[in-house]
Structure 1
Amino acid sequence: MDFSLIGHKIREVRTHLGLSQKEVCEGICSQAQISKIEKGEVYPSAPTLYQITKRLGLDLNYFFESGLSQRQDYAEEVKKQLAAARRNKNYEDVKEIVKSEMNNPIFTSSKENQQLLLWNKGVYEYSLDRNPELALETLQKALSLSHSNDNVWTEDELAIIMSIGVIYMDEKCIPEAIETFKRAKRYMNNRLNLKDWTLIPRLHFNLSKALTKAELYEKSIACCEEAIEWLIKRDYMYLLGELSYNMGYNYELMKLFEKAIYYYERSLFIFEVQKYLHHIDYIKNRIDALKEN
């Protein structure tokens, strides 16, 4: 998307209305930020763009009248912002983005885009509002928007199923969580290719945690090993440290302390390479405690 064009249009309308940057951005963003947006130097977040358009008395369609591709680019940008917010556990941001886009024609006119918003709505209803029943209802509604064939599942549908499994796991409904993750794994195995390859290690990691909670330690370890082998073959490090740590945790619960220390130390090395500093002290303390036994 050409964000310099959006910035140019914001400046054009603002000056036409005789408004200063300060008047437009008040309560929305800093004056420095709107200056950068108008110059095309930064991407406006979805909520920021939505609020600016309302302040200027515009409809979001004004920025996308040049064609379908820009609408698709805008939806993709919102999707990226939601993914980043979920990854960083900024569920307030998720909620703000979803609410700002609910009445946006770019989203209301597309089932795929509606599903994206409903999925993220379910995420914040659980993670922020702590309402598991409503979150599960919303996620099931998101699935029903697009799904019609049990042999074919989109990547977004698989991600939604995984979100359902995480809620079951966190709510201590472990058999339901395991079955949900296994279901997603069966569907994933039927796909010839995946655009979002992170789905595979994410699914294995969550399934392994659910198996650990069910005290199925050897199955959890096997699940981690399968994911690690898949990652190593492709030279990927995503979740490699977390999977190694979970193997160590399973071995610790099985009282196989030497193996637990080995996998904890492997996870520690990976986290140090990745500079995931918030994990390091915790794992070092766990290793020291085991060595004292």
Structure 2
Amino acid sequence: WETSFGGKLKITQEEIASGICTQGLISRIEKGEHIPSADILYKIAKKLGLDVNYFFHYAETPSLTYIEEVMYQVRKSIRERSYHEVEEIIKIEMKNPLFQTPTFKQFLLWHKGICTYYIQADIEKAMSLMQEALNLSETGNNAYSEREIEILNSIAILHSEVGQHKRAIETLEKAMVHLENLSCKKDVHIEIRLLYSLAKFLSFEEAYADSIQHCERGSKLCLQYESFYLYGELTFQHGYNLMKLGQKKEAIVYFCKARSIFQLQNNSDFVSYIDEEMSYLS
């Protein structure tokens, strides 16, 4: 990268930018006027044929900023189910000295476990990696942090994926106890995530009335925090439980409400799914 690295890499800004971003953004990065995201940094490194750690010798960005960018990119890609992309990031960062502290290594192991299941379908290895991540807890098994509670949620989801719904429910109940014992809760969405997972898995076990209770509790939190986060999913799950209990008219009310929420969120896939469910009721 000629202007930033003393002419070691003979490539123009336009060539670097092609397929990644604008030439203007590359110029701003070189001048130190813009901090690139982890995603852009990876793409630049790949185009230049470099290990991403090469940039650390030249970067003025604080290490913590880079770590935060990587963690953001990993979480974003997990939400988008881009597991191969996450796998590539983790493979690189596992060698990065910045990620060797227990806290950051735990983050990588957690997501490596998720990717191992969804890419390789290896549930035993995935669970082993998740447990290895939990073993890096700095507070011990008696007092988990918010992240460790989220790891428990991921473990529960994998149990459910292989049909172990009762074990999933037991894991989530354990996570709820840890959450209740936290003196300071920074992420208000964790409890909503746990309640939604519990509601789903209880439905799988045909415990529809219990599932409805968790849906109602999660929905109240969404309203309390003025957040649409999982509100549509909780509303749909509530309707699904009512449908299974034979309360079709009430179920349609919740399905219609969930459909409106997903329309506002431009979630066309869920809107289509609800339309399909409602067609069975009409």
Q: Please, what TM-score do these two structures have when normalized by structure 2? A: 0.88
Question: Conserved in 2, the CA contact under 8 Å of 1:257 and 1:290?
Answer: yes
CA RMSD, aligned part only? Answer: 2.5
CA distance in 1, matches of 2:105, 2:51: 26
5+ long unaligned stretches in structure 2: none
Q: How big is each residue's C-alpha offset from its partner over 1:89-110, in whole Å with a ceiling of 9 and x where there is no partner?
A: 11111111111111111112x1
5+ long unaligned stretches in structure 1: 1-8
Identify the residue that residue 84 of structure 1 maps to in structure 2: 76
Identify the residue that residue 6 of structure 1 maps to in structure 2: none
Shift of 1:38: 4.2
After superposition, residues 11-90 of structure 1 pair within 5 angstroms as 11-13=3-5, 15-17=6-8, 19-21=10-12, 25=16, 30=18, 33=21, 35=23, 36-40=25-29, 42-45=36-39, 47-48=42-43, 51=46, 55=50, 59-63=54-58, 70-90=62-82
Shift of 1:179: 0.3
CA distance in 1, matches of 2:202, 2:64: 39
CA distance in 1, matches of 2:270, 2:147: 29
> Structure 1's 178 and 39: CA in aligned 2 closer, same or farther, altered over 3 A?
same
Question: Conserved in 1, the CA contact under 8 Å of 2:262 and 2:271?
Answer: yes
Shift of 1:130: 1.1
Question: Conserved in 1, the CA contact under 8 Å of 2:45 and 2:52?
Answer: no
CA distance in 1, matches of 2:180, 2:52: 49
CA distance in 1, matches of 2:52, 2:231: 49
Residue number among 157, 166, 172 corresponding to 1:175 in the alignment: 166
CA distance in 2, matches of 1:192, 1:215: 34
Question: Conserved in 2, the CA contact under 8 Å of 1:119 and 1:142?
Answer: yes
Instruction: Kindly indicate whether residue 195 of structure 2 is the aligned counterpart of residue 204 of structure 1.
Output: yes
Instruction: Kindly indicate whether residue 229 of structure 2 is the aligned counterpart of residue 238 of structure 1.
Output: yes
Shift of 1:194: 2.5
Shift of 1:44: 4.7
What is the number of residues matched between the two proteins? Answer: 275
Question: Conserved in 2, the CA contact under 8 Å of 1:75 and 1:106?
Answer: yes
> Structure 1's 49 and 214: CA in aligned 2 closer, same or farther, altered over 3 A?
same
> Structure 1's 34 and 270: CA in aligned 2 closer, same or farther, altered over 3 A?
closer
Question: Conserved in 2, the CA contact under 8 Å of 1:92 and 1:128?
Answer: yes
> Structure 1's 11 and 180: CA in aligned 2 closer, same or farther, altered over 3 A?
farther
Identify the residue that residue 253 of structure 2 maps to in structure 1: 262
Name the SS of the counterpart of 2:153 in structure 1: helix
Q: How big is each residue's C-alpha offset from its partner over 1:128-177, in whole Å with a ceiling of 9 and x where there is no partner?
A: 22111100000000110124434422121111111100000111111110
> Structure 1's 63 and 10: CA in aligned 2 closer, same or farther, altered over 3 A?
farther
Residue number among 143, 148, 152 corresponding to 1:157 in the alignment: 148
Shift of 1:50: 5.2
Question: Conserved in 2, the CA contact under 8 Å of 1:24 and 1:55?
Answer: no
Q: Which residue identity does 1:229 align to in structure 2? A: K
Q: Which residue identity does 2:177 align to in structure 1? A: R
CA distance in 2, matches of 1:57, 1:290: 54
Over the matched positions of the two proteins, sequence identity in percent amounts to 27
Instruction: Kindly indicate whether residue 205 of structure 2 is the aligned counterpart of residue 217 of structure 1.
Output: no
Q: Which residue identity does 1:61 align to in structure 2? A: F
Question: Conserved in 2, the CA contact under 8 Å of 1:241 and 1:270?
Answer: yes
Instruction: Kindly indicate whether residue 90 of structure 2 is the aligned counterpart of residue 98 of structure 1.
Output: yes
Residue number among 211, 229, 239 corresponding to 1:248 in the alignment: 239
CA distance in 1, matches of 2:57, 2:47: 12
Q: Which residue identity does 2:228 align to in structure 1? A: M
Question: Conserved in 1, the CA contact under 8 Å of 2:102 and 2:136?
Answer: yes
Q: Which residue identity does 1:59 align to in structure 2? A: Y
